[in-house]
Amino acid sequence: MRLSHAQAACRDILEGELESIRTAGTWKTERIITSKQAVKIAVQGKESGLLNFCSNNYLGLSSHPEVIKAGKEALEKYGAGLSSVRFICGTQDIHLELEEKIARFHGRDDAILYASCFDANAGLFEILLTPADAVLSDELNHASIIDGIRLCRARKFRYQHKNMQDLEAKLQECQDARIKLIVTDGVFSMDGNVAPLTDICDIADRYKALVFADECHATGFFGTTGRGTEEYFGLLPGRVDIINSTLGKALGGAAGGYTTGPRELITLLRQRARPYLFSNSVPPAVVACASKRKEYT
């Protein structure tokens, strides 16, 4: 294969970047798993079965026989994929049924499906917030939240982790904002901390702010019936204004993410959210597995 001078120079630059990762001790390797995701897994080179403490398959539903059966049946009935975005010819009845189930599960008006919660976070902030608005984000929020906020044009504030005094101080700096949006993980994935959601909602009420929670590490198993941190703290459904979450962790681990909240917001996201408008719709088998998993939560 012939290499141009430009490509050769680019390779040198990239190799320098790779070497810096090695030197920093942050090089990532991938375990090769040769079994289903489960409590015990087979890993290439160690086929006897290892205890798995690092999966997000919190309820073990990714290998549940009824979930697998639902996926197989959908594959036969609806095919492998839609080869289309939702608004052209990529919406089947099962997509709408799952969105309705998600909205009912969280006690919200409506829900919108994405290929992942990373996409849901990428789609939300850019559409909801303008330069007249302000977003206030916990400093330890997930990378997808950070990247999503970068895409929006609102004034950006980062408050100290779970520090309500600092959050309130930041809110005082942006009282003139049209929309003030407080953004937090429900459960923080790196250390398992739980956001003080009751305090956040109380502060939001005082400053007329909206509250957003990313519930990826809470949906399905946190709270009495698995409805996440809102339920865990005994808050009424809807006290948190907007929830983003995933179908790819406790709810079985296949794929998919969503936003659920006010109908007007969900409708606007269907019209303008770029990850929704310009990505193929979630495959039927994945939708069916997620819909079946909702019966176990």
- Tell me which residues are annotated as active site: 189, 217, 249
Max distance between CA atoms of the chain, in angstroms, equals 64
| Structure token digits, residue 82 | 């839609």
Q: Beta strand 110-114 with 46-51: parallel, antiparallel or unpaired?
A: unpaired
- Asked if 200 and 213 count as a contact pair (C-beta separation under 8 A), the reply is no
Q: What 8-state DSSP symbol labels residue 187?
A: B
- Asked if 60 and 39 count as a contact pair (C-beta separation under 8 A), the reply is yes
What is the length of the chain?
A: 297
CA distance 184 to 227: 16
- Angle formed by the axes of helices 65-78 and 284-293, nearest 10°: 150
Q: What 8-state DSSP symbol labels residue 282?
A: P
- Asked if 268 and 129 count as a contact pair (C-beta separation under 8 A), the reply is no
Q: What 8-state DSSP symbol labels residue 82?
A: -
- Asked if 257 and 238 count as a contact pair (C-beta separation under 8 A), the reply is no
- Asked if 183 and 145 count as a contact pair (C-beta separation under 8 A), the reply is yes
For 179, counting Cβ atoms within 10 Å of its Cβ (0-12 exposed, 13-18 middle, 19+ buried), the class is middle
For 75, counting Cβ atoms within 10 Å of its Cβ (0-12 exposed, 13-18 middle, 19+ buried), the class is middle
| Helix (H) or strand (E) run with residue 89 in it | helix 86-89
- Asked if 189 and 217 count as a contact pair (C-beta separation under 8 A), the reply is yes
